[in-house]
C-alpha cells in the first residue's frame, strides 16, 4: 500500500468507483469493437483560470498517485456492476484484473500553471486510461482550487502564519484534502485532526465560545483552560467584553500568556486596541490571532495591524470564490491500431462554443528572461527547442504502473514557494488581471 | 454497523477525527475543571440564507446519523492523539470509551429551512456534545448547499429529469455526498458509480468525446456504441458536425435511437434544429439530452426548447455559487452543575459584529394560512402555542445514543417535494429576494 511509503497511518481504499458510468460503458464498447487496446494519450489542462486570477497552483498530485495505485475492482464492486447491469461479462472479467500499467507525467505538485498547461499526461491503452478520468479530475480540480486560494492568502499574510480551520464548512473528507492543499499553498497549520493524522500536518486549536459559556463566568473558563493547557495557551477574548477579557486573561495566565484570539467585530480596530492593552499589561510577547470570515483581501487589509496569525475557514475551503478549477481530461492522441508500435495520431474535438482543445502529445516549458524571471508558458507538440530543454515542466510520476515520484508534502510546499517566487512580481497582486504569463503554443 | 440497516454495502469508518482540535482541548479542560458533565444543548442554525435565496434545504441528516454512530476513538486514533500530545492521559481514557449517548432532534432531511431555524439540536453532557461540532457542520453545510442548488434546478426543470454529473468538479467523496444531496433536492439520476454503490441512486452514462475520437470515424464510434449498448443508447453528437452526426446516428441506430446528447454550442438553437431533424428522420421518440455548463438559469431558459433531460455538473456540486451554508453549532443552554436534574440555563455569546445567537433550547413550527400555505417560520424557547403544537418541525433522530429515525433516501426526496410545494409560490422564483417566509421569535 502506498500510504506506508510515507509512514502514513491511513490506507487508501479502492478508488475504482469514483468513476462516471460512461467510462465503463465506453470501455465495454471499445473492448467489443477491438479499439480498447489502442495506445492513447490523455491530458489534463484548463482552458482558463478563474476570472481575474493571475496563476493557478497544481495540488493533489500526490493524492492522484495514491488513487491510481488503488484503482482496482474488488469483488464487491464487480458484483455491484454485474447486479446493476452496468457492464457485460467480458468487461467485468477485464476489470477484475485491472491495474494501471501505463505512464503518467505531470507538473510536480506545488508548481504553478496557466491556461493550456498540460498539468498531467496519462498514457497507455485507451481502456486503462479512460477509466481514470473522473478520479483524477476530482482530485486536481478540488485540491488545486484550494491551493490557489491558499497561495493568495499566503502572499497577503507575508511572514505571518496562516491557520487552516475550514473543516466545518466543507464535506468532511474534502476538508482533509483542503487542509493538505492549503499546506501546499503556504498555510502553516490546520485545525483538522484528520489532516494531522493522515498527512502529518501540524494541528492547532484551543477553545470556542461554547467553552466560555459552559462555565459560570469567563474567569472560570479562562482559569480552567490555563489550568489544563498552561499559560502559553490562546484565550478567546470576545465572548462578552474584549477589554475586560484581555485584562482577566493576563491576570490569570500572567504576562507569559501565549495569545489571545479575536473572532468577531472590527478586527483592525480591536487588534490595535488589544495590542496596546497587552503592552500596557506587560504582555509584550502575547500574540494576537484573528479568525473571523477572513479571505485574502481581509488578510491584506490587516497587514499594518498588530496581528500575529490568521485563522481562515470558509473562504479557503471554498477556493475564495472559485471552489473548483475547470480542468478537463482530454484524449489528445491515439494509435490507429492496438499494435504496440503503431504511431500516435493527434486528435481533437472540433472547436464549438469555445471548447477548443489542441491535439497532440505535449511538452511544456517555462521561458525565463535574463534575470531568471518567468516570461512565458511555452506548450508544444513537436520537438522541444534546445534553449527550453532544461526548463521543461513535466516530470515522470508513474512508469509502467509504478509510482516513481512519491515525495513528502513539504517538498510540494517548498516547490510552490519557489515557483511563485520566480513569477513576475505582478503575480502576487490580489487585484484582478490576466494570467501573469502568456501561454505560447509552438 | 448502521449501513447494514439500509442494505448499503459500505461501512462507515470512524468519524472521530473529523474534528477540530479545539474540541478535544475544550474537553480536556472541562474534564479537569469538573464542568464536562454539565448537561448541555447545542443547536445548528444559520443566521442567513445565501444572498438572494428564498429557502434552504436540509440535507445530510442521514449522513449525520451515520457519523454520530461511528464517532469512536480506535486504538490508532488514540495513539495519534497521545503521540502528538494533543490531549492528556485522563482525556485519552475518557475518549477510549466514547459513544454518543445523548439525544438529537432535528428537521427531517428534505425539509426546508430559514434563518434561525433550529435545524438540529444535540443534547447531552457538554463533553459528549462538544466533540460532534465539526463533523455535524461539515455534513450539513456541504450537503444542504448542494441540495438547495438541486432544488432550484428541479424547479426550473419542471417534469424533465435532471442528471447529476459533477463528480469530476469536486472532491471525490464530496461528489458522492453531492449526488445524494442532489437526489434529495430532486435530481433523478447520477453519473457517479460510487453514489450508486453507496446510496442506491440510479446511475446513467454512455460515452464522451474521447470515445468518438478513439475511432477512425464518428461512424465507427457510433456503430461500436450501438453494438455494445443497443439502439436505446444515447449518442453524443457534437464532436464534429451536429447535423451530420444526427443523420448518421439515426441511420446506424434506427429511429428507435434512445437519445442524442449535445454538450456544447448554443443549446437553444441546437435543440430546436436537432428536434426538427430527428422528427424529419422519423425518430419522434428519440430524446435530446443537454449537458453543457448548466445552472438553474440556463435550465429555465431552455424550458420552451425541445429538451428532454438536463445533465448538470459544476454548478450543482458547487451549490450554484454558494458551496457552503453558514450553519453554526452553538451552545444555547447548559446546567449549572453536573447533576442530572440540574435545570438548564440559556446561554449566548454577546452580540458583536452581527454574530448574534438566541439562547435557550428551541422548538420550531411552520404556521400556515387558511389554505395550508406556509406563512411563517416560528421559533420559540417557551411553551409551544396550542395552535402550533401540531405543526412542529423537529423530530426525534437519536434517543439515548440510538438512532431512531433512519429512513430510505426516497423518503427525504419526497419530503422535500412536499415541503417546497407548501411554500408560497414565490419560493420557486429564481430571481433574488428575501427568504420566502419570515422567521418569528416567540
Q: What is the pLDDT of residues B124-140, one digit of tens each?
A: 999 999 999 999 999 99
Tell me what the mean pLDDT of segment A168-191 comes to: 98
State pLDDT tens for residues B355-383. Answer: 567 899 999 999 999 999 999 999 999 99
User: Which residue among A205, A229, A241 places its CB closest to the CB of B20?
Assistant: A205
- Interface contact flag, B29 A86, Cβ < 8 Å: no
Contacts of A350 in chain B (CB under 8 A): 239-241
CB distance B194–A18 less than 8 Å? yes
- Statement: residue A2 has pLDDT above 60: no
Q: What is the average pLDDT across A405-412?
A: 97
- The answer, for A130 touching chain B at a CB cutoff of 8 Å, is yes
Does B170 contact A at CB distance below 8 Å?
yes
Q: For B264-275, what is the mean pLDDT?
A: 96
- Residues above pLDDT 90, as percent of chain B: 94
For A141, the closest chain B residue by CA position comes to B169
The confidence band for A358, taking pLDDT boundaries of 50, 70 and 90, is: confident
| B209 shares contact with chain A (CB less than 8 Å) | yes
Give the minimum alpha-carbon distance from B117 to chain A in angstroms, rounded to a whole number: 18
- Using a CB-CB cut-off of 8 Å, the residues of chain B touching A229 are 25, 28-29
Domains and CATH numbers, chain B: 2-131+326-441 (3.20.140.10), 158-320 (3.20.20.70)
Lowest mean pLDDT among A2-6, B103-107, B153-157: A2-6
Residue B17 C-alpha cell reads as 477525527
CB contact under 8 A, B352 and A264: yes
Say what the ipTM of the complex is.
Answer: 0.96
Decide if A324 and B317 are in contact by the 8 Å CB cutoff.
Answer: yes
pLDDT of residue A356: 62
Per CB-CB distance under 8 Å, the chain B contacts of A333 are none
pLDDT in the model for residue A223 = 98
Show which of residues 371-410 on chain A sit within 8 Å of chain B, judged by CB atoms: none
Please report the pLDDT score of residue A353 as a whole number. Answer: 55
Q: Which residues of A touch B197 (CB under 8 A)?
A: 17, 77, 80
Q: Does the structure show a pLDDT above 50 at A5?
A: no
Mean pLDDT of B205-223: 98
Mean pLDDT for all residues in chain B: 95
**Which of A22, A204, A265 comes nearest B205 by C-beta?**
A22
Chain A interface includes B240 (CB < 8 A): yes
Q: Are residues B33 and A174, on separate chains, in Cβ contact within 8 Å?
A: no
A40 contacts on B by Cβ (under 8 Å): 214
For B138, the closest of A25, A175, A220 (CB atoms) is A175
Give the pLDDT mean for A403-413: 97
Q: Tell me if A173 and B173 make a contact (CB, 8 A cut-off).
A: yes
Provide the mean pLDDT of chain A.
95
Asked if the Cβ–Cβ distance from A80 to B9 is below 8 Å, we say: yes
Per DSSP bridges, beta strands B327-335 and B344-346 are: antiparallel
Q: How far is CA B71 from CA B75, B95, B100, in A?
A: 13, 10, 8
pLDDT for the residue numbered B5: 46
- Among B196, B79, B155, which residue's Cα sits nearest to residue B420? B155
Give A-chain residues touching B134 at CB under 8 angstroms: 167-168, 172, 192
Q: Return the SS3 of A162.
A: strand
User: Is A183 strand, coil or helix?
Assistant: helix
Amino acid at each position: 500500500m502506498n500510504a506506508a511509503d510515507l509512514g502514513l497511518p491511513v490506507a487508501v481504499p479502492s478508488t475504482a468507483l469514483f468513476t462516471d458510468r460512461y467510462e465503463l460503458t465506453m470501455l465495454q464498447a471499445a473492448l467489443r469493437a477491438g479499439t480498447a487496446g489502442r495506445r492513447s494519450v490523455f491530458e489534463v489542462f484548463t482552458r482558463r483560470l478563474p476570472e481575474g486570477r493571475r496563476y493557478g497552483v497544481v495540488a493533489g498530485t500526490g493524492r492522484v498517485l495514491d488513487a491510481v495505485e488503488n484503482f482496482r475492482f474488488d469483488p464487491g464492486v464487480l458484483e455491484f456492476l454485474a447486479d446493476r447491469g452496468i457492464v457485460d461479462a467480458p468487461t467485468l472479467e477485464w476489470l477484475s484484473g485491472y491495474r494501471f500499467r501505463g505512464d503518467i507525467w505531470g507538473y510536480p505538485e506545488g508548481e504553478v500553471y496557466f491556461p493550456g498547461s498540460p498539468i498531467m499526461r496519462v498514457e497507455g491503452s485507451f481502456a486503462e486510461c479512460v477509466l481514470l478520468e473522473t478520479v483524477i479530475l476530482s482530485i486536481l480540480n478540488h485540491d488545486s482550487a484550494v491551493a490557489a486560494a491558499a497561495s493568495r492568502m499566503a502572499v497577503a499574510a507575508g511572514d505571518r502564519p496562516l491557520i487552516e480551520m475550514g473543516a466545518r464548512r466543507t464535506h468532511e473528507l474534502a476538508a482533509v484534502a483542503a487542509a493538505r492543499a492549503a499546506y501546499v499553498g503556504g498555510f502553516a497549520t490546520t485545525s483538522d485532526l484528520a489532516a494531522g493524522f493522515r498527512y502529518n500536518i501540524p494541528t492547532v486549536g484551543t477553545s470556542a465560545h461554547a467553552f466560555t459559556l459552559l462555565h459560570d463566568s469567563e474567569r472560570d473558563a479562562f482559569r480552567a483552560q490555563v489550568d489544563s493547557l498552561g499559560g502559553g495557551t490562546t484565550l478567546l477574548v470576545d465572548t462578552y467584553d474584549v477589554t475586560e477579557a484581555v485584562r482577566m486573561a493576563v491576570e490569570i495566565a500572567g504576562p507569559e500568556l501565549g495569545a489571545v484570539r479575536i473572532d468577531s467585530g472590527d478586527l483592525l480596530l480591536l487588534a490595535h486596541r488589544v495590542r496596546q492593552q497587552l503592552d500596557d499589561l506587560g504582555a509584550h510577547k502575547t500574540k494576537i490571532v484573528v479568525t473571523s470570515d477572513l479571505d485574502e483581501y481581509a488578510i491584506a487589509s490587516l497587514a499594518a495591524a498588530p496581528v500575529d496569525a490568521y485563522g481562515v475557514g470558509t473562504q479557503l475551503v471554498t477556493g475564495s470564490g472559485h471552489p473548483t478549477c475547470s480542468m478537463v481530461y482530454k484524449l489528445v492522441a491515439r494509435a490507429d491500431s492496438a499494435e504496440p508500435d503503431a504511431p500516435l495520431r493527434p486528435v481533437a474535438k472540433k472547436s464549438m462554443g469555445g471548447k477548443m482543445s489542441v491535439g497532440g502529445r505535449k511538452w511544456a516549458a517555462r521561458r525565463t528572461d535574463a534575470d531568471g524571471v518567468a516570461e512565458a508558458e511555452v506548450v508544444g507538440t513537436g520537438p522541444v527547442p534546445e534553449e527550453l530543454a532544461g526548463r521543461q515542466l513535466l516530470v515522470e510520476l508513474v512508469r509502467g504502473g509504478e509510482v516513481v515520484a512519491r515525495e513528502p508534502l513539504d517538498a510540494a510546499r517548498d516547490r510552490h514557494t519557489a515557483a511563485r517566487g520566480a513569477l513576475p512580481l505582478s503575480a502576487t497582486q490580489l487585484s484582478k488581471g490576466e494570467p501573469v504569463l502568456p501561454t505560447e503554443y509552438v
